[in-house]
Amino acid sequence: MPSFPEVRSWRPSDTIVSGEHDLALRVAVFPTGWNRAIARQTEVKVERRDLQAPAPRVISVPIGRPSTRVKSFYFAEPAVGAADCVKEQDAGSAKPQGSEGPRTCTRVKPPGDVIKLEDRLRYVLQPSLESLLESRSLSFPFRPFPYQWDGIAFLYPRQTVILADEMGLGKTMQAITAVRLLLHGGEVRKVLLVCPKPLVSNWQREFQVWAPEVPLLVIEGDQARRRWQWELSGVPVKLANYELLHRDREVFECECESEGDGSGQGALDFDLVILDESQRIKNRAGATSQAAQAIRRRRAWALTGTPIENSHEDLVGIFDFLVPGYLSSEMAPRGMARAVRDYVLRRTKEQVLTELPPKLFRDAELELTPEQLETYKLAEDEGVLRLTELGHSMTIQHVFELVLRLKQICNFDPATGASAKLERLEADLEEVASCGRKAIVFSQWVDTLRRLSGHLKRFGPLEYHGKIPPRQREAVLQQFREDAGHHVLLISYGAGGVGLNLQFAGYVFLFDRWWNPAIEDQAVNRAHRIGSSGPVTVTRFLMLDTIEERIERILQEKRDLFDAVFSSGAGQPRKSGLTRQEIFGLFDLQCPAGPLDAAA
């Protein structure tokens, strides 16, 4: 029988044996200092090696500039130009000195920022101003001075300009002639001229003399009438004063807002806006400056004899109207001078009028009368004591009140009326009247002028100040000019500091001094200007050992700033005017903490 293999069976045990084994690799960290090395600053080793190699040889090869063929075109000048069309003057009119002479040929002076070739060619090929006037059959009552032709040539092509000639050089005539040329050439059609209210009649007269054919509309009357005048078309030149400009500001703003409302009424804009005595807008935050900037304009001109009165901020304020943002308050005077060089034309009498009679200054240094001295010392001692007691609550207004009080005592003793200035003035006017001459007396206070008028009756005094109605002021000037019995005109700085032509007066007295020398210069130039027949003698009263003498020591520094901006080679000014610190220093007081803004 067959055999079978032996089969053995196996079954796993019911008991399961389990165990745990750690299979992770063990890593040992050795302190190598790597992290600390990464955080450590990299050490850089510098070695300096001096190279003793010889300097390389340089060979210069001059390259000749190739010659360029050019063609020149010249316009033949007419045999008789507008400058030769001289009319006979009235016997009473003042004929400009130096007006006789050879005929001039003045070319237009283009601005330095002209880029387009066609604009450059237009200026280069344009005939002289005399030829332009001749071609348009325009004449003058008498021949302008050469420097006035240069001023017209500077104004005529420019969109933006400041004519900053010294008072008495004929800025009005130059501006009117430039406007006349632009109107006849069709380059402008709507012109707005803004000036101080007392000068409106003066501009009307000057337009009649220099541009009689140009229609001129004076903005005046009630609100409805003025609104109609503003919107009236067909009038090339409109004349308004600064007060009305501020009062009618909504006219410009409303018109601008309604430009796109579909009503068909366009914005009230002008081809040219001229601001006379433009220092009125020097305060950029002021209402007058804001009103001027609201006017839509294509060209903007500014006329002023004092573009800087207190600080360079004045010039920045004017340029905010001309070219907004062009100047900055942070600019240094020399940098500002370079920036405005192509926009500003400034000439002085010494530069252009060599034949103008001299201006003679004499300072009358006087001492207070015994009555004035006693009152002055008492007022000063009590005033300084009161300021000291105020302590930290003392302000610049408190100091100004004391300054003005002391200056008024320097004029007259309030109790007795004694005045050393009046005694000197009466003595000088005796000599003036005996020679048949006329004199102008300036003061900053109307009360002082009225007091002087009572003491000077024998000299036939006339008054011209803010309390004289504007419509009567012209009659006052005419009476002073024509009546030989009136030897003295009592005039305030505010009402007569600008725009008046008083060249028939040979003597000027500054009874009290203004805070700013530029204002005094304007006052003096009312008499020392074109048409003066003889020297102008200027007497400046100054009381010794008083507040007037202390202020005089500081005021000269204001001229330093003006010279730094408008005079070549001038140095950096030390200060920009009477600051708060200087005002407090007049009485040896400590200025409170805060910015030292110009106070005057």
Q: How far apart are CA 198 and CA 241, in angstroms?
A: 9
* Gap between the Cα atoms of 561 and 577, Å rounded: 8
Say whether both 189 and 326 belong to one domain: yes
Sheet holding 507-510, edge to edge: 359-366, 536-543, 507-510, 439-443, 488-492, 462-464
Residues 134 and 503: their CA atoms lie apart, in Å, by 31
Q: How many helices (H) and strands (E) does the chain have?
A: 22, 13
Asked if the structure places residue 325 within a domain, the reply is yes
What mean pLDDT is reported for the chain?
78
In this structure, the answer to whether residues 345 and 365 fall within a common structural domain is no
- 367 and 287 part of one domain: no
Q: Are 166 and 151 in contact (CB under 8 A)?
A: no
**pTM for this predicted structure:** 0.59
43 belongs to a structural domain: no
Q: Nearest-CA neighbor of 342 among 570, 152, 161? A: 161
Tens of pLDDT along 118-177?
A: 777 777 777 777 777 777 777 888 788 888 889 998 998 889 999 998 777 889 999 999
Token pair, residue 165, equals: 């000639």
pLDDT band at 27 (very low <50, low <70, confident <90, very high): low
How big is the chain by its Cα radius of gyration, in Å?
Answer: 39
What would the two tokens of residue 408 be? 């008024």
Top-confidence residue, 293 or 567 = 293
User: How many CA atoms are closer than 13 Å to the CA of 298, on its beta-carbon side?
Assistant: 12
Res. 585: pLDDT tops 60: no
Whether 34 is in a domain gets the answer no
433 with 307, same domain?
no
| Closest of 566, 596, 529, 538 to residue 145, by C-alpha | 529
Whether residue 310 sits in one domain with residue 369:
no
Percentages helix, strand, coil for the chain (3-state, rounded to 5) are 40, 10, 50
Matching residue, tokens 């005539």 = 173
- Three-class SS state of 598: strand
Confidence (pLDDT) at 598: 39
Residue 130 lies in a domain: no
Closest to 459 measured CA to CA, from 432, 478, 477: 432
In angstroms, the CA 534 to CA 525 distance is 14
Q: Counting every residue, how long is the chain?
A: 600
> Are residues 409 and 465 both part of a single domain?
yes
Structure tokens at 500: 């008046």
110 part of a folded domain:
no
12 belongs to a structural domain: no
pLDDT for residue 599: 40
Judge if 292 and 236 occupy the same domain: yes
d(Cα 208, Cα 217) in Å, to the nearest integer? 12
Indicate if 409 and 294 belong to the same structural domain: no
Spatial contact of 280 and 306, defined as CB atoms under 8 Å apart = no
pLDDT per residue as tens digits for the range 481-500: 888 889 999 999 887 756 57
Read off the pLDDT band of 515 (50, 70, 90): confident
Tell me phi and psi for residue 247, to 5 degrees: -70, -35
Helix (H) / strand (E) containing 360: strand 359-366
Instruction: Please state, in angstroms and rounded to a whole number, the distance separating the CA atoms of residues 203 and 215.
Output: 13
pLDDT digits (tens, 9 = 90+) for 452-479: 999 999 999 999 988 888 788 888 988 9
From 318, 350, 382, the end of a domain falls on 350
CATH value at residue 425: 3.40.50.300
Same domain, 426 and 572: yes
Tokens of 485: 């019995």
Show the DSSP H helices in 538-579 as ranges. Answer: 547-566
Last residue of a domain, one of 304, 327, 350: 350
Query: Residue 296 forms beta bridges with which residues?
Result: 269
CA gap 70, 91 in Å, rounded: 53
Q: Distances from the Cα of 273 to the Cαs of 185, 264, 277, 518, 548, in angstroms?
A: 17, 24, 13, 25, 40
590 pLDDT above the threshold of 60: no
Degrees (nearest 5) of the Cα angle 510, 518, 285?
A: 125
Beta bridge partners of 364: 541
Give 373-420 pLDDT, tens digit per residue. 999 999 988 888 888 888 777 777 888 888 889 999 999 999 899 999
Does some domain include residue 431?
A: yes
What's the pLDDT at 564? 63
Q: Tell me the CA distances in angstroms from 383 to 377, 389, 399, 547, 600, one per residue in order.
A: 10, 10, 9, 13, 20
380 & 304 share domain: no
pLDDT given for residue 459 in this prediction: 93
AA letter at 461:
P
Which pLDDT does position 94 carry in this prediction?
37
The torsion region of residue 254 among left (phi > 0), alpha (psi -120 to 50) and beta comes to alpha
Judge whether 154 lies within some domain.
Answer: yes
Distance, in Å, from the CA atom of 383 to the CA atom of 409, rounded to the nearest integer, reads 13
Please tell me the predicted confidence (pLDDT) of residue 5: 63
Total domain count for the chain?
2
Judgement on whether residues 346 and 365 belong to the same structural domain of the protein = no
Instruction: Region of 24 please: left (phi>0), alpha (psi -120 to 50) or beta.
Output: beta
Q: Beta-carbon neighbour count of residue 5 at 10 Å? A: 5
Q: Looking at 350, 374, 409, which one is the last position of a domain?
A: 350
Three-state DSSP at 343 gives: coil
Q: Please name every residue paired with 508 in a beta bridge, in sequence order, or none if there are none.
A: 440, 538
Examine the domain organization and report whether 476 and 511 are in the same domain. yes
Indicate which CATH number applies to the domain containing 201.
Answer: 3.40.50.10810
- Buried b / exposed e over 131-156, threshold 16 CB at 10 Å, is bbbbeeebebbbbbbebbbbbbbbbb
Task: Tell me the residue range of the domain where 560 lies.
Answer: 359-585
Q: What is the mean pLDDT of residues 296-301?
A: 93
Ramachandran angles phi, psi of 287, nearest 5°: -65, -35
User: What is the rounded CA–CA span in Å between residue 534 and residue 355?
Assistant: 11
pLDDT at site 573: 37
